[in-house]
A and B are shown apart, each in its own frame.
Chain A
Amino acid sequence: MSLEIDHVTKRFGTTTALDRLTFEVGRGEVFGFLGANGAGKTTTMRICLGIIRPDSGEIRWAGQAAAVLPRRTWGYLPEERGLYPRMGVLDQLVYFGSLYGEPPDRARREARAWLTRFRILDYADRRAEELSKGNQQKVQFIAAVLHEPEVLLMDEPFTGLDPVNLVLLRDAFTELRDRGRTLIFSTHQMEAAEALCESVAIVDLGRVVAGGRVRDLKRASGRRTLRVVLGGDPAPHWLESLPGVATVARDAIGADLDLLSTADPDAILAAILGHGSSVTRFDLAEPSLEALFIEHVGRAPDDEPAVSADLGTASVAAGGFA
């Protein structure tokens, strides 16, 4: 049982938003959909939900076309956050639950449980406009999961959350995964993806440029990072001249050395000691997700792409009254 994105193409006018996009997400996985703004993430999610029709290709869940599956299969946390400003928080959650077919009593019970868990039960009867942005975001997340969807699609779920709420949300992700739910989220916060995802797809201009299990991606890249913390000068100027070192990223405590695939860690350690420095930390690690992203896309996730492809709005499927 998996979600298959199968050669999906979507054009808006002359711009290609998705170009034969293909990847697969296993049931019960937490999947990171990584890309810069305009990569095609929102468009893909809207096609999953049946809001937009693809020009070609298909999205399937458990072998069935996504567009014919009942709405309650999906939970959706949009990037554009919004609630009914003057409606009470609990009323609002029961309303969205009802639209997904939840009986009001059950929706109310579930909503209260989630509000308690997110430490905002005191706001249950307040109007949404009286809540802080972070708390509104938590209410929106509850609205997306209240009906226990099989697949949860989230567009940039961590944006705007403080560290405490970030932990609350991550814990919720883990719990939902343990209950067998499939979670797919887009983000350009690589640390969050790194901490949560078993698999990722890195997309750029509507195409998957790298994808699969995070561990496999890192191994396949052949790149390694060496964390060194030295006594005395934490990041001396001669680090770049060490054998097999490609780039050096310095910080206040030490430096991260990006190694070439031919580099020999023993030779590097010997060279450092040869400079007369004492070594307090020497830690060989696989490359970060951010490094992988830069390697495949050619720029950091926060950088704007040359051409924006994620219009995602112009042509939309409609049910019609017929």
Chain B
Amino acid sequence: MRRRDPLLPNAGIIARREYRDRTRSPLFIVSTILLAVLAMMVAIAPIGVRLIDRQSVSRLVVISSDAELGTRALAVAESLLNSPPAGVDLATWQRPYQLEIGSDPETTEALLSRGLVAGIMLVERQANGGVDVRLRTAEGPTSARSQILSVAAFGVGVLDWSSRVPSGALAPFVTPTYTVESINTATDGGAPLDIRQAASRYLLGIVFVILLLISIIIYGMWVATGVASEKSSRVMELMISAASPRQMLAGKVVGIGSAGLTQYAMIALPALILLAFQDRIASALLGPDWISGAPLGGLTAGLLLGYGLFFLLGFALFALIYAAMGSFVSRPDDLQTLSLPLSLVAMAGYLIAIVALGGGSGTIVTLASLLPPFSPFVMLARVMVSAVEPWELVLSIGLLIAAIGVVAVIATRMYAAGVLLYGQRPGLRAFVTAARRA
């Protein structure tokens, strides 16, 4: 018969100490401030890019087999795109667009694909008398420029109609057709994705997966170092009589995990606030002619929640193993060697996730998104860029929680054995033997 040691309150007391110990250390405070500043800089980077972009000129080429129609389209586009905003000094104001008539469609197309031209406006008269405008661009149909040019297309249609109908005569007005042809296309299960959104999701996916990898390795090492330094300072000897291994392990993982989450929130929150106010900041910095866009387009509350969930579960899984590892070394210095295999496992998950973000959907990606310890990385990536069946998500989370339960039992046993081992070389054999004996 064994003593009954309920998790609480001791695990809570230990967690509180660990949390305070981490969050009050000068290193924590300095690194949090530095990283928060860095995150804010990244958040306002798109505005900075536009600030630079504003000073550059976008080239737009109008091509038409009808020279008169071409010239008219150029004039309308010019009046819409290059109209000076109210309140600017016309002497110093630079036109954001350089509009020109192109003659050779092939040469212009080559310039577009090389990025030397921002877009090609193909203007033709149709058999029914209406005007057809096609915009070929690297952007999607929802981009601000594409939308302004749809107004331009309508304007060209009206002008063309009014110029061709003799005064006083009645003729039907045919609404001009306007299509945007994106030269880059992304698909999601065959359905075309808004190019901007797809790019944004991909970018966010990479950011999230990297954040997950970094936080699991850094905060996991915090747990391992915490355990190892309790051993090296011999305070573990006092702890083992005051609390059970289960209480110590749970307290450590929760306390250090919370400190990690706190640091994460303190880094992310200022950056998110900046993003929420980016319109105001941008118009203050760039003036009213700033063309609105969304750097975080594609980010939804659901995705943020998903990230939070996979971060918590992934961290719990890895932190338990890190804690068991920390209990097997006598000095924190030995941790680097022992933790390498675990870092490699996390890295493998990260790499598969990058494949998934790039559109990979093979068996390995699907399996890795369901099976721990890779699932936190890979499922997060899949959720970011493609449609995931609900059952896949439930199975992935269920397996992850089950794995945490199993790892918790094994890690507690290894921890209980490891904390009393002094002066032995840490190695896989000692690790396995202790787990089997316990």
Contact = CB atoms under 8 A, between A and B. Distances in A.
A98 B13 contact: yes
B246 A319 contact: yes
Contacts of B243: 71, 99
Contact of A313 (B9, B246, B412, B421): B421
Contacts of A314: 421, 437
Nearest to B1: A68
A65 B4 CA distance: 13
A78 interface: yes
A319 B412 contact: yes
A74 B3 CA distance: 13
B119 to A, nearest CB: 61
Interface string B416-433: 110011100000000000
Helix, strand, loop or mixed for chain A's interface?
A: loop
Given A76-B238, A319-B246, A95 B17 contact: yes
A140 B242 CA distance: 13
Contact of B238 (A69, A71, A143, A320): A143
A81 B234 contact: yes
Nearest to A78: B237
B413 A82 contact: no
Range of interface residues on B (Cβ < 8 Å):
35 or more
A311 to B, nearest CB: 10
Contacts of A313: 420-422
A84 B3 CA distance: 27
Q: Most chain-B CB neighbours within 10 Å: which of A49, A82, A144?
A: A82
Contacts of B300: none
Nearest to B409: A321
Contacts, number: 111
A76 B241 contact: yes
B416 A316 contact: yes
B226 to A, nearest CB: 11
Interface in B1-35: 1-5, 9-10, 13-14, 17, 21
Contact of B420 (A51, A85, A98, A319): A51
Nearest to A85: B233
Interface residues of A, number: 41
Interface in B152-192: none
Contacts of A69: 3
A277 interface: no
Nearest to B416: A318
A82 B2 contact: no
Contact of A316 (B3, B233, B438): B438
B242 A99 contact: yes
Interface string A94-132: 011011100000000000000000000000000000000
A317 B238 contact: no
A239 interface: no
A220 interface: no
Nearest to B2: A67
B71 to A, nearest CB: 78
Nearest to B415: A318
B297 interface: no
7 contacts: A46-B420, A68-B2, A71-B241, A79-B237, A82-B235, A83-B235, A84-B21
Interface of A: 46, 49-51, 65, 67-71, 74, 76, 78-87, 95-96, 98-100, 140, 143-144, 312-322
